[in-house]
Structure 1
Amino acid sequence: MQKIFDTHFHIIDPKFPLEENQGFVPEYYTAKDYLKELKEMSIEVIGGAIVSGSFQGYHQAYFAEAISELGNQFVGITQLPFDIVDEDIFKFNNIGIKGIRFNLYRGLSASPREIRELSERVYRLCGWKTELYVNLQTLDKELEELIFTLPKVSIDHLGMHKCPIDRLKRMVNANIPIRLTGFGRVGYERDEIRELIRILYAENSRCLMFGSDLPSTRAKYRFSSNDIDLIKETVSREAQDRIFFQNGEDWYINK
C-alpha cells in the first residue's frame, strides 16, 4: 500500500447544490466513491484536503458531512465571496475548513486587492492557508508579486502551463509549495513532469505536495496508479515520503 496525504481532491455529493461553470457540471463523486477508488489502487490515505471546485461556487454545506465521514485528518478548502462576514468564517473554521481558494483559472474572478484583503483576513482570524488555481504561464507582474506577499500561499497543479523555470524556483525558494497534482490536465508531458520534480525538489525538499485530483474533472486523463509510479521512479524513497505525505501533512495538519 502506498501511503498518501492527499492535498487536492473533490467530493461532489448529490445531496448538495452544484453550479454550471463554463458549460460544465460534473458527475457525482462521494466520499465512499473516493475511498473505494483509492483502496482499489492500493493507496492508503491518511488525510487530505477536500477542495471546492468551480462548480461548487460559494457553497460550503457539503464540507461538514464529508469531513465527518473521512476523519479529522482531513480539512476543507473553500471559495468565499469578498463580502463574507467574520462570523461565517469562524463557523466554517469550526467544521474543519482551513483554507481559501481563488479559482482564477476557471473564471471565478477576484482582483489582486480582493485576494490580498481576503487572504490576510482569513489568516488573521483563523490561520487559514491560501490556494491559487492560476496559469503561471500567463501570470502578470502584479499578481506574481502579490503571491510573494500573501500569508501561507500555495499553487495548484504545477501552475497548469509551462512557465519559466526560474519563476517556479523563485516560488519554492520563498517556501511557496507547488501542488503535484492533475498530471492529466497540466500543460506538461510526463517526461517534463519528471524533470520538474527533480529540479524543484532539489531546490526545496519541502516544496512539492502530492494530490490525486480525483475525480479528475475536465482532465485529459484520470488520476491512476501510473501517476504514483511516475513519482516513485523519479525520486529517492526519502523524497517519496516527503512528497506523498510528509509535506502535505506538515502544511495542513502539523503547521
Structure 2
Amino acid sequence: MSTAIPLLAAFDIFDAHFHIIDRRFPLIANQGYLPDDYGCADYLERMRGYRLVGGAVVSGSFQAFDQSYLVAALRTLGPAFVGVTQLPASVSDEELRSLDAAGVRAVRFNLKRGGSAEVKDLDTLARRVHDIVGWHAELFVDAAELPDLFATLVALPAVSIDHLGLSQHGFPTLLKLAERGIRVKATGFGRVDFAVGPALQALYQANPQALIFGSDLPCTRAPRPYTDADALLIVEMLGEEGARRVLCENARLFYCGRAHGAPQ
C-alpha cells in the first residue's frame, strides 16, 4: 500500500473514469493499438484501500460500439457503478432505454482517437440521449479544439471534458466552459502538458462543482499511469472541503442525481 492511501482514508471516492478491458468481448485495434486485459477483479484489487463508493466504467476507442463488455462489467461491479458508452448516431430509442436500464448514464465522443460518433453528430446525439434517458455527453478532446466547440457545448444540457482538456493551449477556454457549468474530469494527470496543481485550483475557483475525479485506470497509452499521489494532490491543492466535492460528491451528483430513466 502506498503512503498516500492512509491520507485518503477520510474521503469517499467515486471514480468517474476507468476502463474495463475483457478479451471475451470484441476489441478493435485503434491506430494499431490493442490493450492488455484489465478486468473488474484487477480494478477492484488496485483500488483496495480506497473508500470506493462507486464509479463510471468508460468505453475506450478500442471498444467502439460494443455494449456487451460494458453490460457485463456493470453487472459484475454492481449498482454503485455506472457506464459511459460510445454509440452511433443511428442508435434506436429502444437500445438507449435498454442500456439505461443496465446502468449506462452517458455517451462518449472520442474526438481524440475515434471509435465513437463523429463531431458532426455531437449536438443531435447529445440532445437526443438527454431527452430520452437523461444522459449527459462526455468528450475526449484536446482543449485546443474547444474554442471551435464552445457555442455547441454551452448550449447542450450536460457535458463533461476528459483529462483536464489535455493541453495548456486551450485551457483558458476550458476555464470558461467550467464557469458555464461544463464538468471537467480530474483524470489523466500523466497525459497533460501543464502543471496539474494550479490547474485544479483554477478550475475549482471557476466552479466548485465542475471537477470530478477519476483514476483513468489502467491508463492505456498514458505517458505516465495513475498513482495514489494523484488523488492526494487534489487534497493538497483544494483542501478537505474541495477534496470531498471533487473525489466524490460532484461526480455522484452528475452521474446519479436523477430519477432512473428520466431526463435531468
When the two structures are superposed, what TM-score results if normalisation uses the length of structure 2? 0.90
Deviation at 1:251, TM superposition (A): 0.5
Matched, 1:51 2:67: no
Q: For each residue in 1:207-254, what CA deviation from the matched residue of structure 2 results, as whole angstroms up to 9, or x when unmatched?
A: 100000000000011111111222122121011100100101111012
For residue 143 of structure 2, what is the amino acid of its counterpart?
A: L
Corresponding pairs, count: 249
- Structure 1 counterpart of 2:223, from 220, 224, 235: 220
2:185 corresponds in structure 1 to: 179
Matched, 1:96 2:103: yes
Matched, 1:168 2:174: yes
- Structure 2 counterpart of 1:3, from 3, 7, 12: 12
Percent of pairs with identical residues: 40
1:69 corresponds in structure 2 to: 76
Deviation at 1:14, TM superposition (A): 2.2
- Structure 1 counterpart of 2:242, from 220, 239, 243: 239
1:249 corresponds in structure 2 to: 252
2:213 corresponds in structure 1 to: 210
1:15 corresponds in structure 2 to: 24
Cα distance between partner residues in 2 of 1:197 and 1:140: 20
Corresponding residue SS for 2:190: coil
Aligned pair in 2 of structure 1 residues 104, 87: CA closer, same or farther (>3 Å)?
same
Matched, 1:197 2:196: no
Cα distance between partner residues in 1 of 2:118 and 2:75: 34
- Structure 2 counterpart of 1:36, from 4, 20, 45: 45
Corresponding residue SS for 1:236: helix
Deviation at 1:48, TM superposition (A): 0.9
Is the CA contact 1:180–1:211 (under 8 Å) kept in the aligned structure 2? yes
Is the CA contact 2:163–2:186 (under 8 Å) kept in the aligned structure 1? yes
Matched, 1:85 2:88: no
Deviating more after overlay: 52-61 vs 149-158: 149-158
Cα distance between partner residues in 2 of 1:199 and 1:239: 12
Deviating more after overlay: 102-111 vs 213-222: 102-111
Corresponding residue SS for 1:148: helix
Is the CA contact 1:181–1:211 (under 8 Å) kept in the aligned structure 2? yes
Q: For each residue in 1:126-148, what CA deviation from the matched residue of structure 2 results, as whole angstroms up to 9, or x when unmatched?
A: 0011001111123352x222111
Aligned pair in 2 of structure 1 residues 242, 146: CA closer, same or farther (>3 Å)?
same
Is the CA contact 2:108–2:116 (under 8 Å) kept in the aligned structure 1? no
Corresponding residue SS for 1:137: helix
When the two structures are superposed, what TM-score results if normalisation uses the length of structure 1? 0.93
Corresponding residue SS for 1:146: helix
* Segments of 4+ moved more than 4 angstroms: 109-112
Unaligned runs of 5+ in 2: 1-8, 259-264
1:24 corresponds in structure 2 to: 33
Corresponding residue SS for 1:241: helix
For residue 198 of structure 1, what is the amino acid of its counterpart?
A: Q
Cα distance between partner residues in 2 of 1:252 and 1:109: 20
Deviation at 1:23, TM superposition (A): 0.7
Deviation at 1:11, TM superposition (A): 0.5
RMSD, aligned α-carbons:
1.4
Q: For each residue in 1:86-120, what CA deviation from the matched residue of structure 2 results, as whole angstroms up to 9, or x when unmatched?
A: 11111111111111000000034655441111111
Deviation at 1:169, TM superposition (A): 2.2
Deviation at 1:157, TM superposition (A): 0.5
Is the CA contact 1:112–1:146 (under 8 Å) kept in the aligned structure 2? no
Aligned pair in 2 of structure 1 residues 109, 56: CA closer, same or farther (>3 Å)?
closer
Unaligned runs of 5+ in 1: none
